[in-house]
Chains A and B, each alone.
Chain A
Amino acid sequence: MATTSRSAPVIDARPPRRGTRAPRSWTGWWFAGPFIAVFALVFLAPIAYSIYLSLFRTRLIGGTSFVGLENYLRAFEDPQFWAAAGRVSLFLAVQVPIMLFVALLVALAIDSGRLYGTDFFRVSIFMPYAVPAVVATLMWGFMYGSQFGLIGNLNDTLGITLPDPLSPQLILASVGNIVTWEFVGYNMLILYSALKVIPTSLYEAAAMDGAGQIRTIFAIKLPALRGALIVATIFSIIGSFQLFNEPSILQNLAPNAITTYFTPNLYAFSLSFSGQQHNYSATVAIIMGAITMVIAYIVQLRGMRKAG
């Protein structure tokens, strides 16, 4: 009692001390400030700087000049850029559905509770995600080798000639295989955790209504997974458009199959680091960022609408 009666008047009735307006409270800024500062420094500033860069052109002879949107016009007419964008779009259209479908199957299998050694199974599927992409690619690159690698060994042992996974015709599929191997476990975990939060009462009700496993999957589990699937899809879209590690390392093994403009990111990298075309490289990166944002946003909107 004593405490409340003493403190209450202090808060509500104190008149402003200086001037006529209440002093601004900075408390909120103390909480948000550090985040905003870091966000501005590591997120907004690089984007702003890239946009700034993309408006100029630096030449070996003649120095730097302002060119407005010329770099953007050039990018829209650049067959190499569109070849790269087309390649990752194809990758997205083929690899992502396969990867998510496999992840979904595995998540449902583990969740079904009918597997022996579920924990071991789950960890071993997830394990590749813990392997750095660089190491994973080097490892797969070795297996793909048709002279001394696994493919070469199979050819020798069985007396056959398997298609070369590092040939220009198959290289995209080979990259897709590596990425699938790396990320099935990660997506499986997203989906599995979504399955875990489904209340068991729903299953009990379904069982009482006489629903079998298959019926339960389609009536309960899949609808409950919609949100998680959208999240996984969006991550995968971003990952596909940013494809870089795997092709850039395989490039050492298959320099003719993986061109310097194999993916948009690889193209931006080559432009910048071997071509010294930082301005055009920034332009390519910004355009690709914008395309990624638009597609990811469309997927999200569609996903939400269907859910609602």
Chain B
Amino acid sequence: MTRSTFRRVRAVALAGVLALAMAACGGGSTGGTGDSAGETAAPPAGGTDVQAALRKGGELKIWAWETSLKQVVVDFQKKYPNVKVELVNAGTGNDQYTALLNAITAGSGVPDVAQIEYFALPQFALSKGLAELSPFGAGSLDGTFTPGPWNAVKQSGGIYGLPMDSGPMALFYNKKVFDKHKIEVPTTWDEYVQAAKALHAADPKVYITSDTGDAGFTTSLIWQAGGRPYKVDGTNVTIDFSDAGVARVAATWQQLLDADLVAPITGWTDEWYKGLADGTIATLAVGAWMPANFSSGVAAASGDWRVAPLPQWQAGSTVSAENGGSSLTVPQAGTNQALAYGFLDYAAAREGVQTRISQGAFPATSADLKSEKFLSTEFDYFDGQKANEIFAQSAANVASGWSYLPFQVYANSIFNDTVGQAYVDKTTIADGLKTWRDASVKYGADQGFTVK
């Protein structure tokens, strides 16, 4: 259930081109945030090289699909008049990665800056496609960003991107449906299963949520439950779906599937939007970038929905996980890396952040997440609820130690071939995860990794 998948569906509808982008997402949205004047506590931009490069100027080619960057580019050029920026939408998610990999392989046409989602970053970092940013002063930004995104851009000791946005998870729920059937909003996943049963019993047309198998969602749940199935050390990769966190997610979700409590509606389809609007789908556990999608895609249900903290695996705890989000990176083949880093710093850690928040993005910078104006923003769609308080709390509670595979893009693409089969009663989630693991191991070994 991610934004790139959503864009994929749209792309198909419009252009008839199939993109295989799966999982996490860039871009986001806290609809109607207004401008937040939270001060950005970033230290001075980069090293002296970067400052010199910014003064000297030059040309920058940026590949990104995140829409709020347009205004950032305009402001950036105003501040540094010698820099000429060309912002190119080279496709969303996988489309762009394919183009970028091709450009890197061909050794020509590589952009100076590229947007890359967190789950795809390791693949590029590992294949030496991206420049390590410490020499430009990225290390000094330690503490500027929330832990989840910051850990995601750090790969094998280096920093390979600056976090642009983030997707700390929360539970969006249709208050009208819960009120009508007098059911409490769940605070744990066990309560969630109970609520699913109660809702469906009260009205057979209502489902607690919709799910047809989404790798980004399942891995985020595992992340929250404490599972750490992927361990990556250079080219040594371990994939192990046997820890307790994974088992917990599999068992809980299996209960929902067995009792047919999950609507078989795939995310980002027309049916899905209808289901969110008419109360068929009662909750949605997803990243904090979701609100803008609600106000644009589910406008009819404005006022019905609210935000609650993500249900917990243990009553009383406050653990969260990331779902989506992307970073800005500097490809290794770029010719003006210092200048490129200057833009990254501007867009991800300095003035650009404010611009992007005012355009509806959900930031990854700690200072903005703490700023009063940001936190007190009232969301019209959620009937005036100050949803950012919940999102910011979730961002602070993201569990550490998670890593994605250096070939997560492919692994996610075969999620429905394997785990997805549990959704059509051909296997169980636990067995599907085993098949997924085996297929991922095989692919990793094929690609030259040492996989266990």
Q: Is A205 an interface residue (CB 8 A)?
A: no
Residues of chain B with a CB closer than 8 A to A132's CB: 16
Decide: B409 and A147 in contact? CB cutoff 8 A. no
Decide: A134 and B12 in contact? CB cutoff 8 A. yes
Decide: A148 and B20 in contact? CB cutoff 8 A. no
Contact with A along B265-296 (1 / 0, CB 8 A): 11011110011000010000000000000000
> A147 touches which one: B123, B280, B421 (CB < 8 A)?
B280
Residues of chain A with a CB closer than 8 A to B22's CB: 274
Contact with A along B244-270 (1 / 0, CB 8 A): 000000000000000000011110111
User: How far is A251 from B274 in the complex, measured between Cα atoms in Å?
Assistant: 19
Decide: B101 and A275 in contact? CB cutoff 8 A. no
User: How far is A146 from B263 in the complex, measured between Cα atoms in Å?
Assistant: 11
Q: Which of chain B's residues 407-431 have a Cβ closer than 8 Å to chain A?
A: 407, 409-410, 413-414, 416-417, 420-421, 423-424, 426
Residues of chain B with a CB closer than 8 A to A269's CB: 18, 20
Which residue among B9, B127, B448 has the maximum number of chain A CB atoms within 10 Å of its CB?
B448
Q: Is B228 an interface residue (CB 8 A)?
A: no
CB distance from A107 to the nearest CB of B (A): 30
Q: Is A223 an interface residue (CB 8 A)?
A: no
Q: Is B449 an interface residue (CB 8 A)?
A: yes
Decide: A59 and B447 in contact? CB cutoff 8 A. yes
Q: Is B213 an interface residue (CB 8 A)?
A: yes
Decide: A147 and B18 in contact? CB cutoff 8 A. no
Decide: B448 and A61 in contact? CB cutoff 8 A. yes
Task: Decide yes or no: A273 and B20 within 8 Å by CB, A60-B447, A257-B424 being known contacts.
Answer: yes
Decide: B16 and A134 in contact? CB cutoff 8 A. yes
Decide: B449 and A148 in contact? CB cutoff 8 A. no
Contact with A along B84-121 (1 / 0, CB 8 A): 00000000001000100100000000000000000000
Q: Closest A-chain residue to B98, C-beta based? A: A273
Q: Is A145 an interface residue (CB 8 A)?
A: yes
User: How far is A132 from B12 in the complex, measured between Cα atoms in Å?
Assistant: 12
Decide: A148 and B275 in contact? CB cutoff 8 A. yes
User: How far is A62 from B423 in the complex, measured between Cα atoms in Å?
Assistant: 37
Decide: A275 and B443 in contact? CB cutoff 8 A. yes
Decide: B424 and A167 in contact? CB cutoff 8 A. yes
User: How far is A259 from B413 in the complex, measured between Cα atoms in Å?
Assistant: 10
Decide: B126 and A60 in contact? CB cutoff 8 A. yes
Decide: A256 and B12 in contact? CB cutoff 8 A. no
User: How far is A255 from B420 in the complex, measured between Cα atoms in Å?
Assistant: 8
Task: Decide yes or no: A168 and B426 within 8 Å by CB, A59-B447, A259-B416 being known contacts.
Answer: yes
Which residue among B9, B123, B410 has the maximum number of chain A CB atoms within 10 Å of its CB?
B410
Q: Is A248 an interface residue (CB 8 A)?
A: yes
Residues of chain B with a CB closer than 8 A to A276's CB: 101, 410
Which residue among A142, A168, A273 has the maximum number of chain B CB atoms within 10 Å of its CB?
A273
Contact with B along A275-286 (1 / 0, CB 8 A): 111000000000
> A274 touches which one: B213, B274, B413 (CB < 8 A)?
B413
Decide: A256 and B20 in contact? CB cutoff 8 A. no
CB distance from B63 to the nearest CB of A (A): 17
Q: Is A193 an interface residue (CB 8 A)?
A: no
Q: Closest A-chain residue to B412, C-beta based? A: A274
Decide: B271 and A261 in contact? CB cutoff 8 A. no
Task: Decide yes or no: A147 and B448 within 8 Å by CB, A167-B424, A168-B426, A252-B269 being known contacts.
Answer: no
Decide: A255 and B446 in contact? CB cutoff 8 A. no
Q: Closest A-chain residue to B210, C-beta based? A: A147
Residues of chain B with a CB closer than 8 A to A133's CB: 16
Q: Is A260 an interface residue (CB 8 A)?
A: yes
User: How far is A132 from B235 in the complex, measured between Cα atoms in Å?
Assistant: 45
> A255 touches which one: B94, B98, B213 (CB < 8 A)?
B213
User: How far is A99 from B277 in the complex, measured between Cα atoms in Å?
Assistant: 40
CB distance from B12 to the nearest CB of A (A): 6
Q: Closest B-chain residue to A276, C-beta based? A: B101
User: Which secondary structure characterizes the binding site on chain A?
Assistant: loop
Q: Closest B-chain residue to A65, C-beta based? A: B448
Q: Is B212 an interface residue (CB 8 A)?
A: yes
> A59 touches which one: B12, B270, B409, B448 (CB < 8 A)?
B448
CB distance from B267 to the nearest CB of A (A): 10
CB distance from B65 to the nearest CB of A (A): 17
Q: Is A238 an interface residue (CB 8 A)?
A: no
Residues of chain A with a CB closer than 8 A to B123's CB: 60
Residues of chain B with a CB closer than 8 A to A59's CB: 446-448
Decide: B417 and A147 in contact? CB cutoff 8 A. no
Residues of chain B with a CB closer than 8 A to A249's CB: 12, 16, 18
> B13 touches which one: A138, A146, A255 (CB < 8 A)?
A138
User: How far is A145 from B16 in the complex, measured between Cα atoms in Å?
Assistant: 20
Q: Closest A-chain residue to B420, C-beta based? A: A256
Q: Is B227 an interface residue (CB 8 A)?
A: no
Q: Is A50 an interface residue (CB 8 A)?
A: no
Residues of chain B with a CB closer than 8 A to A227's CB: none
User: How far is A252 from B275 in the complex, measured between Cα atoms in Å?
Assistant: 16
Decide: B98 and A252 in contact? CB cutoff 8 A. no
Decide: A256 and B410 in contact? CB cutoff 8 A. no
> B449 touches which one: A61, A146, A260 (CB < 8 A)?
A61
Task: Decide yes or no: A62 and B448 within 8 Å by CB, A248-B18, A270-B20 being known contacts.
Answer: yes
Q: Is A108 an interface residue (CB 8 A)?
A: no
Decide: B420 and A60 in contact? CB cutoff 8 A. no
Q: Is B406 an interface residue (CB 8 A)?
A: yes
CB distance from A279 to the nearest CB of B (A): 11
Q: Is A288 an interface residue (CB 8 A)?
A: no
Residues of chain A with a CB closer than 8 A to B101's CB: 276
Q: Is B8 an interface residue (CB 8 A)?
A: yes
Decide: A270 and B271 in contact? CB cutoff 8 A. no
Task: Decide yes or no: A256 and B416 within 8 Å by CB, A148-B271, A168-B424 being known contacts.
Answer: yes
CB distance from B426 to the nearest CB of A (A): 7
Decide: A256 and B448 in contact? CB cutoff 8 A. no
Q: Closest A-chain residue to B16, C-beta based? A: A134
Q: Is A55 an interface residue (CB 8 A)?
A: no
Decide: A275 and B410 in contact? CB cutoff 8 A. yes
Decide: B424 and A147 in contact? CB cutoff 8 A. no
23 A-B residue pairs with CB within 8 Å: A59-B447, A60-B407, A60-B447, A60-B448, A61-B235, A61-B447, A133-B16, A145-B271, A148-B270, A248-B18, A249-B16, A252-B12, A252-B269, A253-B266, A253-B271, A255-B213, A255-B420, A256-B420, A270-B413, A273-B20, A274-B409, A274-B410, A277-B446
19 additional contacts (CB under 8 A) given A138-B13, A252-B268, A253-B269: A60-B406, A61-B449, A132-B16, A134-B12, A145-B270, A146-B264, A148-B270, A168-B426, A252-B12, A254-B266, A255-B416, A260-B413, A260-B417, A270-B20, A273-B98, A274-B22, A274-B409, A275-B413, A275-B443
